[in-house]
Amino acid sequence: MKKWILWGFLFLSCLVFMNPSFPQEEHVERVVSIEVPVRVYKKGRFVRDLSIQDFMLLEDGKPQRIDAVYLIKKKTIEREEKHEEAVKTIQPEIESRNFVFVFEIRHYLPRLNEVMDYFFNRVIDGDSLNVFTPVNSYSIKEDALKVLPKQRIADQLKAKLRKDIVQGSADYRTFFGQIRKIMNTEGLSEGTKRLMCMDILREMKAMKRFDEAKLVRLSENLKKNEGQNHVFLFFQKESLPIPDVIGPFDKLEILKDISLDTKKIKACFSDSSISSHFVFITRRPDYELDLTRLTSLDKSRIKMEDSSSEIFGAFNDLAKATGGLTESSANVAVAFEKTVEASENYYLIYW
């Protein structure tokens, strides 16, 4: 009898411990690793021999322990180094790259063809590309590159880019011509010319106001992507035609800096681990040059005033904050090649 009672007790005990309604507690430690792309240059050359001890990372002014440092070349991890006390870090997602081109350009440049040709022939390799022009946006996925030759896609994008830039700058060019016509019209008083030119200049200034919300939305969308995110901002130097009938206070209104929340933009890109590069095109649009060429300098009553300082400062800070590069040049193709090289060589710091 005692044997049967013992076996019954063991059987019931097994049922209790095997019952799925009594799960054992499981403690899982979840650690989120944050990655920061960093590029270090010395005399214009990327420094490739840095170790984990060469980096210092601060958060709110307080030093943080760096868990790992990876040296990246295109899609390859060339070297990795981890802190001996660090938790397991996530390997960099370098299987795919997401490229984004943002063109804030009011005058089409033939060398933009070289930019597209270089990118499709030398850079893109199983990656995605999103292009934002002044009036449209285009998306090139990896599947498209499997169906169509790279050069055909490049040629299609070049045609669309040219069309969009010309379309987007049509009103701007017209305003330049209107101001020149007003200043050359006899019979108009100086006061009337001032009022007419101020109305046009206000419209021109409204057109050049940069949409920072577009960059914030872009960063939010890139957060959803797997792999690396590389943004290239193309911006052409801008000037406004200021006639001599415009007084100091009027000029201050027209040329005062555009308000940009640079801290917000930098925070969005940094939080999304986006590497942004800034290509500043110093060549002035032809219609700006034509405006000053048509009249001799001693008789000209119109002076071109730079209106790009705020945008340049914001984009330059954004590039620095995200480990990117700023290149200023009249040759957009050469500047682009330098920023691409910068995007393909960098350190990834994890903490």
Angle, to 10 degrees, between the axis of helix 212-222 and the axis of helix 262-271? 10
Which residues on adjacent β-strands are paired with residue 345? 73
CA 331, 335, 338 angle in degrees (round to 5)? Answer: 150
The rounded distance, in Å, linking the Cα atoms of 52 and 50 is: 7
Say whether pTM exceeds 0.85. no
Element (H, E) at 290: helix 286-293
Q: What is the pLDDT of residue 327?
A: 93
Q: What is the pLDDT of residue 235?
A: 92
Residue type, 139: S
By residue count, the chain amounts to 351
Q: Is residue 251 part of a domain?
A: yes
Q: Is residue 241 part of a domain?
A: yes
Query: Regarding beta strands 137-140 and 128-132, do their DSSP bridges make them parallel or antiparallel, or are they unpaired?
Result: antiparallel
Q: Is residue 88 part of a domain?
A: no
- pLDDT-based confidence at residue 216 (cuts at 50, 70, 90): confident
Q: Is residue 77 part of a domain?
A: no
| Model confidence pLDDT, tens digit, residues 286-298 | 666 555 554 433 3
Q: Is residue 70 part of a domain?
A: no
| Model confidence pLDDT, tens digit, residues 173-185 | 899 889 989 998 9
User: What is the number of structural domains in the chain?
Assistant: 1
The rounded distance, in Å, linking the Cα atoms of 33 and 351 is: 6
Q: Is residue 72 part of a domain?
A: no
Task: Give residue 328's domain range.
Answer: 104-340
